[in-house]
Structure 1
Amino acid sequence: MSVLERSGRAGRAARRAAESGSGPVAGDAEPQRNPGARNWFGLLGEVLTVGILVTLASVPLVTLPAALAAGVRHMRRFLRAEESTFALAWNDFKAAFVGGIGVAVATAALVLVLLLDIDLANSGALPGGSLIAVVGWVGLAALGVAVFTAAGLWTPQLRWRGALRAVPAAVRSDLPGALYLVATGVFATVVTWQLVPLIVPALGCVVLAVVAIPQRPRRRMADEQR
């Protein structure tokens, strides 16, 4: 093999390593923001894997917030091409478990109240039922955004109390992102209602959306301008 061939192969290997995040970038080139997302098939497989993990961990229902938080952190590590083992995800789930139960119970109670209001409004038993129904649906959407955002903000250091306190500021700073989260929740609900097993990829998509929406290009450009 000639020196030029070896040099060419070494150069191509260096470029692949730089693009994937596994190696240094050359010169003034910018490193990839999410190198783990370059392989679309790998990303699809990871979305399905995370969906399975979140679904299994959410079977008791009260563990859903903890499962989402652990799934988000796992997906974030994967996209950054960092170590993303199941052991790390399990540690995150255990750390988020206790506080997550309180979040799940409070969320379930609010969901039941809002669904009851919507049902009563649709029954015609309440005056101004249509307005009450709208308020109920808006409340459900806001609750979903709050849970998704808190799961995205949660860390073992911040914990659930800090994550929940940071939700209003996060939503105010990115109102379009909150609408995207609403659309994500509606999508997950509709596909699961149509076919229950689709909850697995739906939850995987929710986790990916929670990670990706704050990092979308429009948000990054706005942050740089500020």
Structure 2
Amino acid sequence: MSVTNAERRAHRAATREARSGAGPTVAGVEPGANPGATAKFGLFGEVLTIGLMMAVVALGVVTLPIAVAAGIRHLRRFVAAEDSRAQLFWDDVRAGILPSLAVGVPAALLAAVLTIDVVLAGSGALPGGEAIAVVGWAGLLALAVTVLLAAGEWSPSRGWVAAVRAVPGVVRADVAGAAYIAAAAIFTGVVTWALAPLFIAGIGCAALAVVAVPARRRRGENRAG
């Protein structure tokens, strides 16, 4: 009897491991996706680690797009239980940092203009200040979402032009997903405003959101099929 119970416990444990995607295949059990995401504490630690690395790269401000893109690619490798050495992150940064300036410089200038508008609107120096402030905040949010989505589409082989051009299609294909990315961008802004060092956690979470949102859509499509 004890042997039977032990066998059942072993089979249940093997089934859990197989479904998580981290263990060996068990007959009749479909392996789970994203095995690297099954260890929740490990994933949280990786988000903080990659957030710190992204923050270092983003110190140049105009280098924020490549920092986010390289971080997203790193987290995709991690959750897929692929090779996720830190060296691969720096390889992506080196491969894309110069081309990314074509995105980073205009984005930084536009963000500066919108921020100035918001500040001036709040000071009462501009007529219709409340409306201008709303437009400014909306513009900053749209810019942040665009940068995040473009970074999610970037790869060294694809390049930044194709990544930016893909953003409208990504939004049309998953409007709810774009709203989730906007929420991640707002979260990053709020925690950074509250305490600047929290930018590390915020940007890491935003990168993870870009990885997780399309996976959510694919799971829904698989269930519908």
- TM-score interval for Structure 1 and Structure 2 normalised by the shorter chain: 0.7 to 0.9
Which residue of structure 1 aligns with residue 99 of structure 2?
99
Which residue of structure 1 aligns with residue 38 of structure 2?
38
Which residue of structure 2 aligns with residue 221 of structure 1?
220
One-letter identity of the residue aligned with 2:56: L
Native 8 Å contact 1:21 1:81 kept in 2: no
Which residue of structure 2 aligns with residue 136 of structure 1?
136
**CA deviation after TM superposition for structure 1 residue 4, in Å:** 7.9
**CA deviation after TM superposition for structure 1 residue 85, in Å:** 0.9
One-letter identity of the residue aligned with 2:97: F
Distance 1:219 1:8, change over 3 A: closer
Between the two proteins, what is the percent identity of the paired residues?
51
Native 8 Å contact 2:144 2:185 kept in 1: yes
Which residue of structure 1 aligns with residue 120 of structure 2?
120
Whole-Å separation in 2 of the counterparts to 1:108 and 1:100: 12
CA RMSD of aligned residues (A): 2.7
One-letter identity of the residue aligned with 1:136: G
Q: Which runs of 5+ in 1 are unaligned?
A: none
Which residue of structure 1 aligns with residue 63 of structure 2?
63
One-letter identity of the residue aligned with 2:33: R
Which residue of structure 2 aligns with residue 108 of structure 1?
108
Which residue of structure 2 aligns with residue 76 of structure 1?
76
Which residue of structure 2 aligns with residue 204 of structure 1?
204
Q: Which runs of 5+ in 2 are unaligned?
A: none
TM-score, normalised on structure 2? 0.87
Whole-Å separation in 1 of the counterparts to 2:218 and 2:38: 20
TM-score, normalised on structure 1? 0.86
Whole-Å separation in 1 of the counterparts to 2:118 and 2:75: 35
Distance 1:6 1:128, change over 3 A: closer
Matched residues, number? 224
Native 8 Å contact 1:20 1:81 kept in 2: no
Whole-Å separation in 1 of the counterparts to 2:39 and 2:196: 28
**CA deviation after TM superposition for structure 1 residue 8, in Å:** 7.2
**CA deviation after TM superposition for structure 1 residue 26, in Å:** 2.8
Distance 1:131 1:219, change over 3 A: farther
Which residue of structure 1 aligns with residue 153 of structure 2?
153
Which residue of structure 2 aligns with residue 182 of structure 1?
182
